[in-house]
């Protein structure tokens, strides 16, 4: 079966060239040669033309794409607004309250799911006991011991303040927080 993204790309090519079909070839595993013929699909082509022209219009108008839950959206917001203007405040539109309620509901669902996940993990750990690895016909489960080396920064700051200051690294970030007005 030809992957969907390849079919879409071929339909785009046919939209541009006017061809009625497109041959696609691949080498699987470095040694198995296959080829398929993709027929022109006018419905897909019209859809592609619509979304591509909508996209290009946004580029021309310098309209950013809508924000979503992707890392790309998160990263662009960090890039656009790296620091808060200290002491500033704005009145947010009423629709933000609906967004906050939806966020709180999702957080509650996540908390329930995380609790359920931990319950399941604890049951499996109890079955593993002191063993590092357990097996089922489908899964390998491990509960290994690891050690981590860290520095007691509070103690270092008190006992060796000059060394603490010498190696201190300060980074900035913006913390998102929502609290109910009392």
pLDDT, one tens digit per residue, over 106-121 is 999 999 999 999 999 9
How confident is the model over 59-96, as pLDDT tens digits? 999 998 899 999 999 999 999 999 999 999 999 999 99
Q: Output the six-digit token pair for 9.
A: 């790309």
pLDDT at 179 over 90: no
Average pLDDT, the chain: 95
pLDDT at 155 over 90: yes
Mean pLDDT confidence for 132-141: 96
Q: What pLDDT sits at residue 142?
A: 96
Domain borders along the chain are: 4-68, 95-167
Residue of 172, 169, 134 lying closest to 151 (CA atoms): 169
Using CA atoms, how far apart are residues 129 and 39, in angstroms rounded to an integer? 59
Using CA atoms, how far apart are residues 105 and 113, in angstroms rounded to an integer? 12
pLDDT at 162 over 90: yes
Mean pLDDT confidence for 49-58: 96
Q: Which residue, chain included where needed, has tokens 């785009």? A: 12
Contacts of 12 (CB under 8 A, 6+ apart): 45, 48, 52
- The pTM of this model reads 0.64
Contacts of 144 (CB under 8 A, 6+ apart): 132, 133
Mean pLDDT confidence for 37-59: 97
């Amino acid at each position: 079966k030809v992957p969907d993204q390849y079919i879409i790309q071929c339909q785009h090519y046919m939209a541009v060239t006017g061809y009625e079909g497109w041959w696609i070839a691949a080498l699987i595993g470095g040694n198995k040669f296959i080829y398929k013929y993709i027929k022109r699909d006018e419905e897909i082509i019209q859809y592609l033309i619509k979304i591509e022209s909508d996209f290009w219009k946004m580029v021309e108008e310098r309209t950013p794409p809508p924000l979503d839950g992707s890392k790309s959206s998160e990263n662009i917001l960090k890039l656009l607004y790296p620091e808060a203007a200290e002491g500033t405040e704005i009145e947010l539109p009423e629709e933000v309250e609906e967004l906050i309620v939806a966020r709180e509901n999702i957080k509650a669902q996540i908390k329930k799911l995380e609790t359920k996940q931990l319950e399941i993990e604890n049951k499996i750990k109890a079955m593993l006991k002191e063993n590092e690895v357990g097996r089922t016909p489908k899964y390998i489960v491990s509960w290994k011991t690891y050690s981590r080396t860290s520095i007691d920064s509070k103690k270092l700051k008190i006992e060796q303040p000059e060394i603490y200051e010498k190696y201190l690294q300060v980074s900035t970030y913006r913390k998102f927080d929502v609290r109910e007005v009392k």
